[in-house]
Amino acid sequence: MPDPSYPAAPAVPPTPPVPLSSLLAREDLALRQIAGPTDPGIVIHWAHTSEMADPYPYLLGGELLLTAGVHIPEAAGSGTYFDDYVSRIVAAGGAALGFGLAPVHDTVPRALVAACDHYGLPLLEVPPQTTFSGVARAVWQLMAQARLAELRRVTEAQQSLAAAAARPDPVPSVLRQLAQRVGGRAVLYGPDGVELAGAGRAAEPVARALAELTEVVRPGAAAGSTPSSAADTVAGTHLAAYSLGSGQGFALGVASPRRDPGDHTIASVAAVLLSLLTGEHHSGSGAARSSALVRLLLGAPVAQIAPLLGGERWTVVQARPAGDGPPPDALAASALGAALGSPLVDLGDGVVRVLVPADREPTSQPGWILGVSAPGGPGEWPAADAQAARALARARATRAPLVRHGARTGLADLVPAQQAEQHARALLAPIAGTPALVETLRTWLSLHGSWDRTAVALSVHRNTVRQRITRCTALLEADLDDPDVRMELWFALQQMRQG
């Protein structure tokens, strides 16, 4: 079944995982696989060291778990210890287990080898001369190499697609470049679903399935909001469909034998270029927007201009890139607008603003943090912009991918931002110079005062959490058992993070 929630393009492609075979090929590590499957498709996303008898609560999935067997009891071989241990790793999604020889064990326990074979978990023997930190460093080195290669591939593809768009025959040129870059087929479909241009090859069943998939992203093709992209797999071929955002039903279909991390980014760039090439020339939207701008400059009321934009009610979306990445450029802003289904995009001061028709429901986009206003008519757009700004601030403070403005006003909305920030800085001044105390207090409060959960979240011992909270109590001269005090401190911490 097609996946209508296929994510929009991130600002950069995600870091590729590391094939386990690449790690085993490192001669400096001298790792040896002694149990479990040897499928070349097995990959690991990171390395983690733990001597816990039950590592399940501390695994995220995809890890190479490293252990020296400190946790193994003397009589483990005669019971179910190793079966229980390996089954928990598999249940947590662990990708492989590395067992270090010396100083605790001279050989890998035979019962552990049998358990890994039984549960299908790759087991690696780590020789005494290879440190766990050396294995972890090798994993990160391989990931960095793969990341660099993928970024170079995406950058080269973006440049070639931009050059193709400047040719006298831009649409066929862009499709040819896209098909070449993904090693498959790229097709532009018209509003009626007819193939207008294509490049590359695909088997007839795949081509038919690709045409059907593009119907998912065609405006009005399905009940509810229409997704900007969708994905499916047919006969081992990966399919993706992208709405070109012109509002007239043009769609891009891509079929490829594989789906590398950067392929979606490359296809999304092509979709943006094709949207520019088709939207302005094959519909009246560009002329209508130009007319709206001229009338606005000549003094026409906003209410008279709104119908030219395609609707009376709109939602304002404000967005910033997630993490500490570079500020967005015009291409990234246009890609976000295409993903949200609107060509009305503004980029300024590192914030992207998108006017989205009220009948389209904005959804979270990988690589972005979004604040979404309530739908409103022309007279409400300035207020909606302010709503989106406050929602974006809350999203950044809580590290949420998307926050919507609610009908209920929160306490933070009632206090002027400058006054709230000044109060927060004064209240937290005694601990502000010690980031560990600030982060511990914030985490402890967010987890309702749980010592154990805070220790896990911060990767420290629970006694360290107690010591830090006791220190905060003394420096702040506050009773942290008082819910009123906790509420005020939480408010201050949120304001400090937003500031």
Same domain, 348 and 448: no
Which pLDDT score is estimated for 3? 45
List the one residue out of 24, 94, 23, 18 whose CA is nearest residue 52: 94
Same domain, 273 and 319: no
> Taking 90 as the threshold, does the pLDDT of residue 230 lie above it?
no
> CA 76 to CA 113: how far, in whole Å?
13
Q: Which residue has the higher pLDDT, 53 or 348?
A: 53
> Taking 80 as the threshold, does the pLDDT of residue 323 lie above it?
no
Same domain, 324 and 241: no
Same domain, 176 and 272: yes
Which pLDDT score is estimated for 65? 97
> Taking 60 as the threshold, does the pLDDT of residue 494 lie above it?
yes
Give the number of domains in the chain.
Answer: 4
Span 386-401, mean pLDDT? Answer: 81
Residue 483 token pair: 């819910």
Same domain, 422 and 402: no
Which pLDDT score is estimated for 403? 87
* Alpha-carbon separation of residue 380 from 67, 264, 306, 313, 358 (angstroms): 60, 36, 12, 9, 13
Same domain, 119 and 173: no
Same domain, 233 and 255: yes
302 in a domain, yes or no? no
> CA 33 to CA 21: how far, in whole Å?
10
> Which pLDDT band, with edges at 50, 70 and 90, does 459 fall under?
confident
Same domain, 118 and 230: no
Helix (H), strand (E), coil (C) string for the chain: CCECCCCCCCCCCCCCCEEHHHHHCCCCCCCEEEECCCCCCCEECEEEECCCCCCHHHCCCCEEEEECCCCCCCCHHHCCHHHHHHHHHHHCCCCEEEEECCCCCCCCCHHHHHHHHHHCCCEEEECCCCCHHHHHHHHHHHHHHHHHHHHHHHHHHHHHHHHHHCCCCHHHHHHHHHHHHHCCEEEEECCCCCEEEEECCCCHHHHHHHHHHHHHHCCCCCCCCCCCEEEEEECCEEEEEEECCCCCCCEEEEEECCCCCCHHHHHHHHHHHHHHHHHCCCCCHHHHHHHHHHHHHCCCCHHHHHHHHCCCCEEEEEEEECCCCCCCCHHHHHHHHHHHCCCCEEEECCEEEEEEECCCCCCCCCCEEEEECCCECHHHHHHHHHHHHHHHHHHHHHCCCEEECCCCCCHHHHCCHHHHHHHHHHHHHHHHCCHHHHHHHHHHHHCCCCHHHHHHHHCCCHHHHHHHHHHHHHHHCCCCCCHHHHHHHHHHHHHHHHC
Which pLDDT score is estimated for 302? 65
The count of other CB atoms within 10 Å of the CB of residue 86 is 25
> CA 39 to CA 27: how far, in whole Å?
20
CB 75 within 8 Å of CB 92? no
Which pLDDT score is estimated for 407? 47
Among 357, 381, 407, where does a domain finish? 407
CB 175 within 8 Å of CB 188? yes
Which pLDDT score is estimated for 284? 47
284 in a domain, yes or no? no
Residue identified by tokens 């768009």 is 165
287 in a domain, yes or no? no
Mean pLDDT over all residues of the chain? 82
> CA 331 to CA 405: how far, in whole Å?
27
> CA 68 to CA 269: how far, in whole Å?
47
> Taking 50 as the threshold, does the pLDDT of residue 223 lie above it?
no
* Beta bridge mates, 346: 353
Same domain, 317 and 393: yes
| Backbone angles phi and psi of 108, in degrees to 5 | -75, 125
Which pLDDT score is estimated for 88? 96
Residue identified by tokens 């996946």 is 3
Which pLDDT score is estimated for 348? 82
* Beta bridge mates, 125: 32, 99
13 in a domain, yes or no? no
Which pLDDT score is estimated for 13? 44
Same domain, 420 and 400: no
| Backbone angles phi and psi of 157, in degrees to 5 | -65, -40
Which pLDDT score is estimated for 424? 80
> CA 97 to CA 11: how far, in whole Å?
33
Mean pLDDT lowest among 8-12, 39-43, 222-226, 463-467: 8-12
> Which structural domain, as residue segments, surrounds residue 50?
30-129
CB 294 within 8 Å of CB 351? no
> Taking 50 as the threshold, does the pLDDT of residue 9 lie above it?
no
> CA 148 to CA 150: how far, in whole Å?
5
> Taking 50 as the threshold, does the pLDDT of residue 182 lie above it?
yes
| Backbone angles phi and psi of 102, in degrees to 5 | 65, 145
CATH number of domain containing 177: 3.30.450.30
* Alpha-carbon separation of residue 447 from 262, 431, 439 (angstroms): 36, 20, 12
Among 72, 98, 129, where does a domain finish? 129
Residue identified by tokens 């990341």 is 147
19 in a domain, yes or no? no
Which pLDDT score is estimated for 111? 94
> CA 445 to CA 472: how far, in whole Å?
12
Span 165-189, mean pLDDT? Answer: 85
Q: Which residue has the higher pLDDT, 385 or 221?
A: 385
List the one residue out of 358, 308, 491, 328 whose CA is nearest residue 413: 491
Per-residue pLDDT tens digits for 402-415? 988 874 445 555 55
Q: Which residue has the higher pLDDT, 223 or 348?
A: 348
Q: Which residue has the higher pLDDT, 140 or 337?
A: 140
> Taking 60 as the threshold, does the pLDDT of residue 1 lie above it?
no
CATH number of domain containing 80: 3.40.1390.20
List the one residue out of 317, 313, 287, 293 whose CA is nearest residue 305: 293
CATH number of domain containing 446: 1.10.10.2840
Same domain, 365 and 419: no
List the one residue out of 390, 419, 426, 423 whose CA is nearest residue 406: 390
Among 367, 388, 407, where does a domain finish? 407
Per-residue pLDDT tens digits for 431-443? 888 989 988 998 8
Which pLDDT score is estimated for 365? 82
Same domain, 102 and 57: yes
Which pLDDT score is estimated for 226? 62
218 in a domain, yes or no? yes
384 in a domain, yes or no? yes
CB 187 within 8 Å of CB 210? yes
371 in a domain, yes or no? yes
Report the share of the chain in percent with pLDDT over 90: 28
Per-residue pLDDT tens digits for 70-92? 999 987 777 899 999 999 999 99
Span 451-475, mean pLDDT? Answer: 88
